[in-house]
Amino acid sequence: MRDHIKVQVARYLPEKQSEQTFDEHEVPCPKDWVILDGLNYIKDRIDGTLAYRWSCRMGICGSCGMTVNGEPKLTCATFLADYGPGPVRIEPLRNFPIIRDLIVDIGDFMRKLVSVKPYIVRKYEKPLREGEYIQTPQELDEYKQFSMCINCMLCYSACPVYGLDPKFIGPAAIALAQRYNLDNRDEGAAQRMEVLSEHAGMWGCTFVGECTKVCPKHVDPAGAIQRYKLTGAIESMKAFFMPRGA
């Protein structure tokens, strides 16, 4: 069992370069180290100019997504030793513009997320004295899987449709819209449908299924999108055949 591993790290320093380059370092790899530990070792001991995002280091904040040997991964949840003897190649998340080194711009996703209204929307907000909104465990199960999303955007990185057409709203946004649509306390399904029934909304998805494969929280955005397409299609048929409301 080797105790060191070769790590190739993508570098992009816009004030000095106009293209991406790769630095190679030899990094220790105890069996409990994750990729993030390796990156921290490089930054602390070898090259302090390396820039990357991370926070919770336990797979819940969604900050540390990067492309490891071509696959989108959470670097805090991927073991370094699994790639021995290496080299293991670390690049920024694909399909996003690279700001610097391993940092990508996530503004596009943030705007799309806001556009699907990811919060409980009600026509009438109950005042506190009327008590809580009641939800049974079965009603919770309807949307619980989709609420597990940590906004890490690995799904956007894996989605070829998003890579080809950045206007596509993307897997996580649609899954999160579904999370609220299926919540029995929510009454905003019609508003979200307007955004998502556009061409760059859910209809851009061709069910490649890669998003579900790479999701670290098993959210299954592909399943959410197909269910939403069926709902959307039925709503369209209703609107067409019964325009004055069903």
Chain residues in the site for another protein (CB under 8 A): 12, 14-20, 70, 94-95, 97-100, 105, 136, 138-139, 141-142, 160-161, 163-165, 190, 193-194, 197-199, 203, 206-210, 213, 220, 222-223, 226-227, 229-230, 232-233, 235-237, 239-240
CA dist 120 and 206 (Å) reads 28
**156 is written with which tokens?**
């956007």
Q: Of the two residues 30 and 160, which places its CB atom closer to another protein in the complex?
A: 160
CA dist 55 and 53 (Å) reads 7
Q: Min. distance of Cβ 12 from another protein in angstroms?
A: 5
Q: Min. distance of Cβ 21 from another protein in angstroms?
A: 11
Q: Min. distance of Cβ 74 from another protein in angstroms?
A: 19
CA dist 59 and 132 (Å) reads 32
Q: Of the two residues 87 and 166, which places its CB atom closer to another protein in the complex?
A: 166
Q: Of the two residues 27 and 174, which places its CB atom closer to another protein in the complex?
A: 174
Sequence-ordered alpha helix ranges (H) in the chain: 35-41, 107-115, 137-144, 154-158, 160-164, 171-181, 189-196, 210-214, 221-241
**168 is written with which tokens?**
């596509």
Backbone angles phi, psi at 45, to 5 degrees: -110, -25
Q: Min. distance of Cβ 28 from another protein in angstroms?
A: 30
